[in-house]
Structure formats: structure tokens, C-alpha cells
Amino acid sequence: MTRTSSSRRRFLKSSSLAAAAVALRGSSLLAQSSAQVDAHIDIDPGETIATISPEIYSHFIEHLGGVIYDGVWVGEGSKIANVGGIRKDFIDTMRAVQVPVLRWPGGCFADSYDWRDGIGPRDKRPNRAGFWKQQESNQYGLHEFMRTCRAIGCKPYLAANLRTQPARDFYQEIEYCNAPAGNLPSNSAAPAAPDALAAQREANGDREPFNVDLWGVGNESWGCGGNLTPEEYAMEFRRFTAWTPTYGDTPLRFVAVGPNGDDVDWTSRLFKALYGNPERRHLWGLSVHYYTSGSPTKFAAGDALKFNDDEFYDLLTRGSLMDKVITDHWNAMSSAVPSALSREQPSVKLVVDEWGAWYGKGTELAPEYNLSQQSTMRDALLTGITFDIFQRHADKVGVAAVAQSINCIHSLMLAQGDRFCVTPTFHVFQMYLPHRGAQSVRADFTAASIPNPMGNTASQVGGNSYIGQLPPIKSLAGLSGSASVKGKSLTLTVVNPHLTQPMTTEIAVRGASIASAKGTVLAEKDVHAHNDFAHPDAVKPRSAGALSPAGGKLTHSFPPASVTSLEIALV
Ligand code: AHR
């Protein structure tokens, strides 16, 4: 049960009202007019958390299965509608959700990738063995990725290879991307050389610099990125990020490899090791990867489409642990860093650059579309729960990227040849757009929680076997969400995870009255509902219906298993 004592008192009052209404219903039609309320949402616009970074709505694409080849890249000669080889539906859909940042080329793939393999004439690029046991043709490389970002209108976020390349290659990748045409770094007195990397970039088709500011320094270095200890990684991070070339006014934002799920030991030791040396100033963000496995059982990953009620509640319960993961790592950073450094700490953001529900085999588009999976209403609810958590922690989370945009774990799009559809998750991304750049404010949700029917099983938190364990999780919030304000407009997003129970909820705003409201809801009778190529619109949002505030408050019934976005005008 949530939260403040005043709201708890009100809840008890409304619970007894509800009980009274139920008792009356048997004997009198008067019950129909009774104020039956299942939950309360109390919003306090005066209690601000932070501005919601639009970058928490970022994306990730990796050379894995059908993500790049067929998903993003169909090739210039393709019959599939494309813009310079990039699938047009992919671009249009990414534009429709206003993607702010796109991460590439991995994931685990990044730590065995040589960025030089993907530049120059395509017919001269080498074939290589890629990380995910598939041949890498290198037809999609750095320039194609930058064109993708330009077509979408987003910023690039590059993951650098720390496991199999030395720091020099990283420095040179930065130079290749960011040096002005024909120039050397601003800290160099030497004249521009004809073989300067900027000149190579120009010869390869891009005279203007890419101005990449966001750089991941390795990926999952505790696992596929090198099996390093936090102390070993801290040394590598410092070596990679010290004395990097800088160009123009673009400060580089370096993201250090963070924990696997809720592994606070990694975060704590990494921070101690990094801050133990005064040359630490390059750290901008700490990457966090948290996947919700389709099953709590170790080495089983569940099925994207076939799940029972217990598994539905269990997945959402474990997904809600994102809240704990964020808080735990934030606290670990705070306590690991000596107090003299604490004033700097707010400048270190959490970068949740891989998240989503990860299921086992069974719903792939085809065997070679490794890790592709279907997405149902269950995943839409997880998406809403996750964004609400990020927004409630707007002071901590600077960037987050869903894994991955297309043909993969928690995708917004599925594509195979000329067939294409969006998933329910796409719709949630669109419904949450108004939150971006708004001020996140405190919202207390008061509702009875749902016991997790599988809450006695220790949880695996990822789809791959090396991802760690979490303790049993007993319950799921009966209603959750987040609120943000821009002037007199308030955006409220709400997830009702009950499979059958609508949640009639009284919404009140401290110090203001609700003048009007409108909204959108995503809800289907069956939580297994999903889109596929034959039924691309089986799941889509609809209007939340007539919303009539009374006495400055709004009472609204959130349908079972739904995600709702309300736009509320305040006076
Ligand atoms: O997103 C798939 C994989 O999951 C990524 O390559 C890796 O970083 C994580 O383990």
C-alpha cells in the first residue's frame, strides 16, 4: 500500500465507502450513485523532482539477428521502400516516437567490432565473424549509422570496443567522427596532414563532422565485454578516457560500464576505484542493464505469447524492480564516493541503456532472427511501468535505451522482407511523449497491492544465463504511474495491472483544480493481444472517453490491464 499518512487515511475512508456501496448494492439501487473509489492519485506540483530528460526515450540497435540486416538496413537496391538503403518504415516509426538518441553497434557485438571495417566503399568492406555467431558483411557501418540518425533526427551514441582494441583506436574513432574537415585536434599545434582522419571521413562521403558526444566505453565488461573486475575496468576506463581529443564546443559524455542488474557491488567498487584517483573527471554516466526475464526460473526464459495469469503478474512484478535497481545504484554511488566528492555526484547520471522483457525461443520471426520475439499487451504494461519509474527518478536517470528498436528483445517494430508492423510497445512510447522536457512532480498512488502469485521463487533478471539473481518479490503495485507539469498542463500516465478489475480512481492536485482532461488508453480484453504482419492494428490505442472533473477533482476508471495517458488542464 502506498504512501503518505494523509492519503492512507483517505484510502481507508474510501475503502469503507466502497465496502458500504457493495453492501448496499444487494438491497438498493442507491448503490449506483455511491462514491465507490478503488484508488487515489494525489499530485503535488509544488514537489518537483527534476526535468524529465527526453533522452530516457532513447533506442538501441545492434548487429544481432535481424536487427540491422533486414530490420534497419535493406540496401539501396532493395524493392522494400528505403531511404539510401535504410528501411523507410523504420525511419518513419522512429520519427513518430521522436527518438532522441540511438545507440550502436552493440551490445556484446561492440567489443569485437572494428569501426574501420564499416567505412569506405561497400564492395571493399571485409566479411567478418560477428559476435552473435553470424557473418558480418559490414554493409552497414559508421556512415550508414550516421545517415540513419540524420534521417530520424536523433543523436548518435556510440559504444566503443574496449575488449579487443586498444585505446588508440578509440581516440582515432573520436577523431574520425568529430574532427572538423581537414583539421587536427584543437590541442595540437601540428598542421593538418593529408591523411588526417577527417580527410578520410570526407573521402568516404561525409565532409562535416558527426559531432558524437555520447560514448559508451565498452559494454558489459563484467561479462561479454571482457570478464573484468570493477577495479580492472576502472583502470581501462581511465586509460581510454584520459587525454581524448576534443573538437569545437562538443564536450564528450563518457559512459562507464555499470552493473549487471542489481549488482551494487560492481557499482560500489567501480566508484571507489575511479574516484580513488583524482583523474576521474571524464565520467558522465554509469550504464545500467536490467532485463526482465520471461520466467523467474533460472535458465528458463518463458514464452512471449504463452503465459498464464500468474506469469503475467510475476513478470510485471519483477519488471517493477527497476525502481529498486535505480535507487540501489544511486545509493551505492553516493556512499562509495567520499563526501568531498558528493557535490559532483549529481553530474553523474544513470544511463539505463538496455532494458526490456526478454523471453526464450519460440516466437522468433525465423531461426536466423536471433533474439527476435513477439510483444503483447503484457509488454506494453511493462513499458508504461518502466517509463513511470524513470520519470519518478528524473533526478537520477539521464538516458535510457530500450533493447532493441526492431526485431529483437523488447521491440517497437517487427520487419521481415516487405512485411512490417509495430508492437503494442510502440503505442506506449507515443502515449508518453508529452512528458518529455516537463517537470516531474510527486504523485502518490494509493491502491491495494497485488500479491505476486510466484513471489516465492528467486528471480533471474535477464535472458542470458550469466545475469544474476534477485530475492523473491512478493507484490505488485495495484496502480502506478507518474506525473509531470509544463505550465498549467499536467500529464499523468497510469498503469492498471489488474487482469479483470477496473480501478475507479480519484485524482486530486494539491493547490490547483482540474479544469478539463482528455486522454488515450491502450487496453485489450486479452493481455495476450499483439500485432503481427497479418493483423498490424490488432492492438492500438483509443480515446480514454469522456472525462468530467467535479469540484476540482477527476474520478476516472482505469480499465483492467491498461496503460493510460491523461492530459489535464489546471486552474
Ligand atoms: O541486447 C542483447 C544483449 O544483451 C546485448 O548485446 C548485451 O549487452 C546484453 O547482454
Per-residue tens of pLDDT for the chain, all 571 residues:
334 333 333 333 333 333 333 332 333 333 333 468 999 999 999 999 999 999 999 999 999 999 999 999 999 999 999 999 999 999 999 999 999 999 999 999 999 999 999 999 999 999 999 899 899 999 999 999 999 999 999 999 999 999 999 999 999 999 999 999 865 555 555 555 656 899 999 999 999 999 999 999 999 999 999 999 999 999 999 999 988 888 888 789 999 999 888 889 999 999 999 888 877 667 899 999 999 888 777 656 789 999 999 999 999 998 999 999 999 999 998 888 754 345 544 578 999 999 999 999 999 999 999 999 999 999 999 999 999 999 999 999 999 999 999 999 999 999 999 999 999 999 999 999 999 999 999 999 999 999 988 876 655 444 443 344 566 678 999 999 999 999 999 999 999 999 999 999 999 999 999 999 999 999 999 999 999 999 999 999 999 998 999 999 999 999 999 999 999 999 9
Question: 135-136 and 155-160 as β-strands: parallel, antiparallel, unpaired?
Answer: unpaired
Instruction: Decide: 106 in ligand 1 pocket, CB within 6 A.
Output: yes
Are 265 and 201 found together in one domain? yes
Tell me the CA–centroid distance for residue 104 and ligand 1, in Å: 12
Asked which of 384, 413, 438 is the last residue of a domain, the reply is 438
Residue 402, H or E segment = strand 397-403
Which of these, 149, 107, 74, 98, lies nearest to 426 by C-alpha position? 98
Output the pLDDT for position 473. 79
Three-state SS at 315: helix
Are 216 and 95 found together in one domain? yes
Residue 46: burial class (beta carbons within 10 Å; 0-12, 13-18, 19+): exposed
Domain range for residue 482? 2-51+441-449+477-570
One-letter identity of residue 317: T
CATH number (domain holding residue 501)? 2.60.40.1180
Pick the residue whose CA is nearest to atom 8 on ligand 1. Answer: 107
- Whether residue 105 lies inside any domain: the answer is yes
Are 45 and 83 found together in one domain? no
Are 105 and 194 found together in one domain? yes
Instruction: Decide: 107 in ligand 1 pocket, CB within 6 A.
Output: yes
- Whether residue 467 lies inside any domain: the answer is no
Asked which of 384, 411, 438 is the last residue of a domain, the reply is 438
- Whether residue 469 lies inside any domain: the answer is no
Are 32 and 95 found together in one domain? no
Structure pTM? 0.91
Which of these, 189, 190, 206, 187, lies nearest to 198 by C-alpha position? 206
Are 44 and 69 found together in one domain? no
- Whether residue 468 lies inside any domain: the answer is no
Pick the residue whose CA is nearest to atom 6 on ligand 1. Answer: 107
Are 16 and 99 found together in one domain? no
Pick the residue whose CA is nearest to atom 2 on ligand 1. Answer: 107
Does the active-site annotation cover 354? yes
Ligand 1 atom with the smallest distance to the CA of 132 is 6
Instruction: Decide: 464 in ligand 1 pocket, CB within 6 A.
Output: yes
Tell me the CA–centroid distance for residue 218 and ligand 1, in Å: 12
Q: Which of 224, 358, 359, 411 to mutate to test the pocket of ligand 1 (most atoms within 8 A of CB)?
A: 224
- Whether residue 18 lies inside any domain: the answer is yes
Are 47 and 58 found together in one domain? no
Tell me the CA–centroid distance for residue 387 and ligand 1, in Å: 20
Q: Which of 59, 60, 61, 62 to mutate to test the pocket of ligand 1 (most atoms within 8 A of CB)?
A: 62
Output the pLDDT for position 457. 63
Are 33 and 70 found together in one domain? no
What span, in angstroms and rounded, lies between the C-alpha atoms of 207 and 195?
Answer: 14
Sequence-separated (6 or more) residues with CB below 8 Å from residue 221: 162, 163, 227, 228, 233, 236, 257
One-letter identity of residue 539: V
Active-site position among 62, 136, 220, 524:
220
Instruction: Decide: 409 in ligand 1 pocket, CB within 6 A.
Output: yes
Tell me the CA–centroid distance for residue 483 and ligand 1, in Å: 31
Tell me the CA–centroid distance for residue 107 and ligand 1, in Å: 5
Angle made by CA atoms 319, 95, 421, in degrees to the nearest 5:
65
Q: Half-sphere exposure of residue 31, counting CA atoms within 13 Å on the CB side?
A: 12
Q: Which residues of 128-160 are buried (b: 16+ CB within 10 A; e: fewer)?
A: bebbbebebbbbbbbbbbbbbbebbebbbbbbb
Domain count, the chain: 2
Active-site position among 55, 136, 354, 364:
354
Instruction: Decide: 108 in ligand 1 pocket, CB within 6 A.
Output: yes
Asked which of 438, 463, 497 is the last residue of a domain, the reply is 438
Ligand 1 atom with the smallest distance to the CA of 219 is 8
Instruction: Decide: 219 in ligand 1 pocket, CB within 6 A.
Output: yes
Pick the residue whose CA is nearest to atom 3 on ligand 1. Answer: 107
- Whether residue 455 lies inside any domain: the answer is no
Are 351 and 406 found together in one domain? yes
Are 434 and 496 found together in one domain? no
Tell me the CA–centroid distance for residue 43 and ligand 1, in Å: 37
Does the active-site annotation cover 220? yes
- Whether residue 163 lies inside any domain: the answer is yes
Pick the residue whose CA is nearest to atom 7 on ligand 1. Answer: 107
CATH number (domain holding residue 319)? 3.20.20.80
Tell me the CA–centroid distance for residue 259 and ligand 1, in Å: 13
Residue 302: burial class (beta carbons within 10 Å; 0-12, 13-18, 19+): buried
- Is residue 551 within 8 Å of 33, Cβ to Cβ? no
Sequence-separated (6 or more) residues with CB below 8 Å from residue 301: 293, 294, 295, 358, 359, 360, 361, 463
DSSP state of 46: E
Output the pLDDT for position 49. 96
- Whether residue 463 lies inside any domain: the answer is no
Ligand 1 atom with the smallest distance to the CA of 109 is 6
Three-state SS at 159: strand
Tell me the CA–centroid distance for residue 353 and ligand 1, in Å: 10
Are 41 and 66 found together in one domain? no
